[in-house]
Amino acid sequence: MAHSHLPIQHLMKQMENFNSESMNLNCRPLWLNSFVDEVADIFNPYEEVGRVGFDCQFTEECWEVGLFLGSTEIVGGERDGQFIAASFQFDLLQLLDRFESVNRFHFNFLEQIEAQSTCDPASAYITIEGHLADLELVRLNVYATPPEEAGPGFRKSHDGKIDTV
């Protein structure tokens, strides 16, 4: 029992780490989580399923939200390692209905400087900035393709089997 203080100190440290990690896991307000879920439901993938990815950042002005439909990574075969962006429809009228008032609403397309195997998500996206029903200001970017660092949403093997990531 001479060293019984070590396990207790270790346990206390684990509790401190767990508490601080759980506080940092989701610092977004509940209304923003609901908003992201509502907008994610607007994505209509041409394939049977799709996985919506998102990023939320608080700026000096407002919450900035980026949404995109995840890509599929090809595993095996001659196209092994390629990422295929998902094709989808996105109803802009449904998007507008999520806002109480709109300050900005535009489509952005930026020229690709180099030919890439995957499209830069900043090359084509819709931006809408406005107030939600609870008068919170939000800037939303809906990207045509996912950012490279997001990784794939699915993996498709050369035999046609699709797995979620």
User: Which DSSP string corresponds to 31-82?
Assistant: HHHHHHHHHHTTEEESSS---EEEEEEE-SSSEEEEEEE--EEEESSTTTT-
Model pLDDT for residues 51-101, shown as the tens digit of each residue? 899 999 999 999 999 999 988 888 988 888 888 888 999 999 999 999 999
List of residues 6+ apart from 66 with CB closer than 8 A: 54, 55, 56, 121, 140, 141, 142, 143, 147
> In whole numbers, what is the pLDDT of the chain averaged over residues?
81
Model pLDDT for residues 94-142, shown as the tens digit of each residue? 999 999 999 999 999 877 665 454 455 557 999 999 999 878 999 999 9
Task: Name the DSSP class of 139.
Answer: E
Task: Name the DSSP class of 101.
Answer: E
Q: Are 165 and 74 in contact (CB under 8 A)?
A: no
